[in-house]
Structure 1
Amino acid sequence: MTLIADDPTSAQLVSTDPRDGSQVGSWPVADQAAVDRAVAAARDAAEWWHAQGFAGRKRHLQAWKTEITEGAHALADVISRETGKPSGDALLEVVLTLTHLDWASKEAHKVLRRTKVPSGLANINQSASVGYEPYGVVGVIGPWNYPFYTPMGSISYALSAGNAIVFKPSELTPATAKWIEDAWNRAVPGHPVFSVVVGDGATGAALVHAGVDKIAFTGSPGTARKVMAACAERLTPIVVEAGGKDAMIVAADADLDAAVGFAVFGGMGNAGQTCAGVERVFVEASVHDEFLSRLAKAAAKLHPGPGASDSYGPMTLARQSDIVARQLDEAIARGATAVVGGPDSVADGYVGPVVLRDVPADCAVSREETFGPVLVVDRVADLDEAVRRTNDTDYGLTASIFTKDLAKGRALAARLKVGAVTVNSVLGFAGIPSLPFGGRGDSGFGRIHGADGLREFSVVKSVAVQTRKPMLDLLTMDRSEKDMRMTEKVLHLLHGRRGKH
């Protein structure tokens, strides 16, 4: 990414391929005025979009899905060029994303339609119902590591709920966002229900200040706090996904080969640039050495590079290599052992696979998000220690558990302070659209995906309709003594000791 500007009104953002520096594309940087125009257009379009109803929105979203499906390889190529990830990984990202778009568009009416709820004996004269309405315009600020899958987790569900979207992608991946916008305009021409504003952090700040009705943000906890502070000025609600320090627990009875395979995938896929992957591994003592030996052999086979056949690509954000290097240097200096790789693995924009053991628990590589292909493997005396250490972090996004005893796996999952848990897999929830996704602590709050994701982008509205006169006329300034005496009897009947039986 490069910003080119002779003056503020002509700034251009240039997207480049991190593998070779070649230009992917360039777009004008949206300043506050441009963002305001986009939000105003979206607000007008939102009225039309809301009026389409669930059936109409489903039809348009399915048409958009078809446009993306037919161009899936072209989109995957753009994703690959902007992020440096292998084309196969980029295509997988497209496939997983469309699963969510399909589900959200089809299920929105079931989740959000107005539904009658019980009124209770005391209010039998009232017909009560709950329904959900769109906020209006939702601003989405997306990341660069999964530039299609992650922001579409908000976009798909917010659109299905009836909102218009103004999307500010990462400054590293604007071409992906513009490709999606072009697909929208082909599927739903003339209606800017979904639009993109390109730029850096200043453009994101402009979107927050443009009067949108909700913000969906994905990024670091530090940036999330700044965005939240800006949202607080207008009391703009926000949903935040802010990364993780995800742990894997390997029980003594686990299938070690399966655990190793998923540890490598979760920790080193996409060059480790995955919020919900694996960064820490806690292994019961009796199988620790065997697990570590197998993991070392599997990780050592990986080879980063620019080619389609390479295991993974470069660090998309160049300065992330410096963070990885600093964490490795500190850990080694304090007595950790690099079983695979080490500080020399960071070179020329790439980070080779790294497996560490004997890392002091207070090292940055054990406490802070690394966002690189680095796994820290720790021996634990038992599963209670594994749970305690998994929870001993400010993050709380996801975790994984490996055991052949599924009942034990579910019991352990219940004890982990995270938003999602997989048993005997990693990222198993990512392709299940009915499962909500989100974290706690420094990993953020709110949910995307699933019914909770649809409701996240909706305003709940309760309606009570009085269908006949009440038995007791209490909502008046002229309550009768008779009605009050009867009210007291009802009070004891419903809520007193006799009522409890």
Structure 2
Amino acid sequence: MLNATAVDALLAQLPASTEFSCASAPFTGEPLPAVPQTPVESVESVAAVGRAAQRQWAARPVRDRQAVAARFARLLVEHHDRLCDLMQWETGKARIHAAVEVQGVVATALHYAAHSAGYLGERRVRGAVPGLVRARVGYRPKGLVGVIAPWNYPLFLAVGDVIPALLAGNAVLSKADSQAPLTLLYARQLAVRAGLPDPVWQVVAGPGRLLGPALVEAVDYLSFTGSTATGREIARRCADRLIGASLELGGKNPMIVCADADVTAAARGAVQAVFSNAGQMCIGIERIYVHEKVFERFLAELTDRTARLRVGAGYGYDVDMGSLTSLRQLEATEKHVADAVSKGATVLTGGRARPDLGPLFHEPTVLTGVTAEMAVYAEETFGPVVSVHRVASDAEAVRLANAGEYGLSASVWTRDLRRGRRIAAEVVAGSVNVNDGYLSAIASLGAPMGGMRTSGSGRRHGREGIVRYTEPQTVTTQRVATAYPDRFRGPLLRAMNACTRALVAVRHRRIHDPREIHT
């Protein structure tokens, strides 16, 4: 773990303050280092520092910014173990899940280091009059981007959204989550070592209810990951200022297991998708719909695999699932399980808190007999709990999967890939993984990820993940002036109308003539 001197160096990146706050280490309940709380009135001055630095940063060639990202990726790899230590200390996650998080940010940095120039490159489009008018679209940085990320992935979400914002030429103002600020500050320290100018990425710390509104007032665009309730409030505030926002919010993500699925693979994938990060994952699976032909076999294998998970507070790779991160999440998990059991649900494995392992541990839990009047049926648990349901057909599975308010992620298991793609197209979710729980979509960094319905708006990753931080600008140039003498206006308009009628006739014929369609 970091010594006191190293911790002080990290905290020195925050604005000076006379107020401090301590979170608790999930494994032990002991206090984490005291973190200076940024005064609300200081947010504007911190933002001003970033704005001043942004102009020079944006003026640098994209390839220079890409080189910084590539060096940052290398430093993340070199400091892999320290980053894992910090994440486990602050969040209580298992070592394997911390390691996957580091790899995810490395991959994101390398992706945008390789592709941001192409994503942001000026492109030519058809002008109003081909040969006379040329039109080009370029992408200008927003200016100052705010990033508010949650505690459950303090590296992947908090830093992964910063990387494309910086490569697009913006400055960034991050709000460190109160539970896990050291992980974010350590990553920022590495970014500065990689060549990022210090003022270009600023970090403030403090309660979201206080700093969130101040951050919205200070930035030109906001990236937020968190609850749907908070996302709605942020969206309202951004709308009042007429600034854009990307919001990845809650989810009650479904898995569909078809009659022809590889049951062993599906059960193994379900365990990973449900219990990674102790279920504290916005794209994790919380409900599974299994065709009646394979229901009993799937349930038996899922229950057996879940019961054999190794749960503990270790810093090695011999632990499969770690702790919940906060008392709030433990209480929410216990409440959902207790409510379900009191109304007739059955616990097949798990179902209990484990104070013998640590103050915030809960067993991985599989429920059956969950019905609509139970809170766990439709509310996001954000803990290590899954409900399994029997269905008679793919159509029933899709109908139930699409029930509720969310639409973030989903999973479909079948041996028939065409069938899988068909079902995926019917599911309301921003990403659907066929024969995988969630990793294949999030690891496909060229593809956008985000939510439908109340699971959010906007996308991270791919071209969409960096262009969101820009303002598209159209520039047209023409060979001759458009200011014509009055005596030419009438003939010119008549000629334009004739051309328009001819164009409409040609387009109409191409659309409606089957011969044109087939050719």
Aligned counterpart for 1:222 among listed residues 215, 224, 229: 229
User: What is the alpha-carbon distance in structure 2 between the residues aligned to residue 28 and residue 477 of structure 1?
Assistant: 69
Matched, 1:433 2:445: yes
SS in structure 2 at match of 1:46 = helix
Q: How many matched pairs?
A: 490
- Aligned 8 A contact 2:292 2:391 in 1: yes
Cα shift readout 1:74-99 (whole Å, capped 9, x = no counterpart): 11111111011122321221011110
| C-alpha deviation, 1:500, in angstroms | 3.1
Aligned counterpart for 1:135 among listed residues 142, 145, 148: 142
| C-alpha deviation, 1:343, in angstroms | 5.0
Corresponding residue number in structure 2 for 1:389: 400
User: What is the alpha-carbon distance in structure 2 between the residues aligned to residue 299 and residue 479 of structure 1?
Assistant: 80
- Aligned 8 A contact 2:95 2:319 in 1: no
Q: Residues 47-446 of structure 1 correspond to what in structure 2 (within 5 A)?
A: 47-119=55-127, 122=129, 124-188=131-195, 190-307=197-314, 308=316, 309-343=318-352, 348-427=359-438, 428-446=440-458
- Aligned 8 A contact 2:249 2:454 in 1: yes
Matched, 1:455 2:467: yes
| C-alpha deviation, 1:229, in angstroms | 2.2
- Aligned 8 A contact 1:215 1:238 in 2: yes
Corresponding residue number in structure 2 for 1:491: 500
| C-alpha deviation, 1:406, in angstroms | 0.4
User: What is the alpha-carbon distance in structure 2 between the residues aligned to residue 148 and residue 189 of structure 1?
Assistant: 17
SS in structure 2 at match of 1:147 = coil
- Taking a change above 3 Å as real, the CA distance of residues 322 and 426 of structure 1, as seen in their structure-2 partners, is same
Structure 1 runs of 4+ off > 4 angstroms? 343-347, 475-479
After TM superposition, the score normalised by the length of structure 1 is 0.93
Matched, 1:17 2:33: no
The amino acid across from 1:396 in the alignment is: G
SS in structure 2 at match of 1:139 = strand
User: What is the alpha-carbon distance in structure 2 between the residues aligned to residue 492 and residue 23 of structure 1?
Assistant: 75
SS in structure 2 at match of 1:167 = strand
| C-alpha deviation, 1:326, in angstroms | 1.5
The amino acid across from 2:182 in the alignment is: A
- Aligned 8 A contact 2:24 2:32 in 1: yes
| C-alpha deviation, 1:264, in angstroms | 0.7
Corresponding residue number in structure 2 for 1:4: none
| C-alpha deviation, 1:230, in angstroms | 2.2
- Taking a change above 3 Å as real, the CA distance of residues 107 and 344 of structure 1, as seen in their structure-2 partners, is closer
Percent identity between matched residues is: 33
**Larger deviation: 394-403 or 163-172?**
163-172
Gaps of 5+ in 2: 1-15, 511-519
Cα shift readout 1:303-334 (whole Å, capped 9, x = no counterpart): 42212333211110211111111211221122
- Taking a change above 3 Å as real, the CA distance of residues 10 and 498 of structure 1, as seen in their structure-2 partners, is closer
User: What is the alpha-carbon distance in structure 2 between the residues aligned to residue 343 and residue 360 of structure 1?
Assistant: 20
After TM superposition, the score normalised by the length of structure 2 is 0.90
- Taking a change above 3 Å as real, the CA distance of residues 499 and 429 of structure 1, as seen in their structure-2 partners, is closer
User: What is the alpha-carbon distance in structure 2 between the residues aligned to residue 52 and residue 155 of structure 1?
Assistant: 18
- Aligned 8 A contact 1:397 1:443 in 2: yes
**Larger deviation: 313-322 or 484-493?**
484-493
SS in structure 2 at match of 1:319 = helix
Cα shift readout 1:191-226 (whole Å, capped 9, x = no counterpart): 321121111124532542442000101111111112
User: What is the alpha-carbon distance in structure 2 between the residues aligned to residue 264 and residue 100 of structure 1?
Assistant: 25
- Taking a change above 3 Å as real, the CA distance of residues 416 and 498 of structure 1, as seen in their structure-2 partners, is closer
- Aligned 8 A contact 1:15 1:175 in 2: no
SS in structure 2 at match of 1:401 = strand
User: What is the alpha-carbon distance in structure 2 between the residues aligned to residue 255 and residue 220 of structure 1?
Assistant: 34
The amino acid across from 2:77 in the alignment is: T
The amino acid across from 2:430 in the alignment is: G
- Taking a change above 3 Å as real, the CA distance of residues 198 and 499 of structure 1, as seen in their structure-2 partners, is closer
Q: CA-atom RMSD, angstroms?
A: 2.0
Gaps of 5+ in 1: 1-7
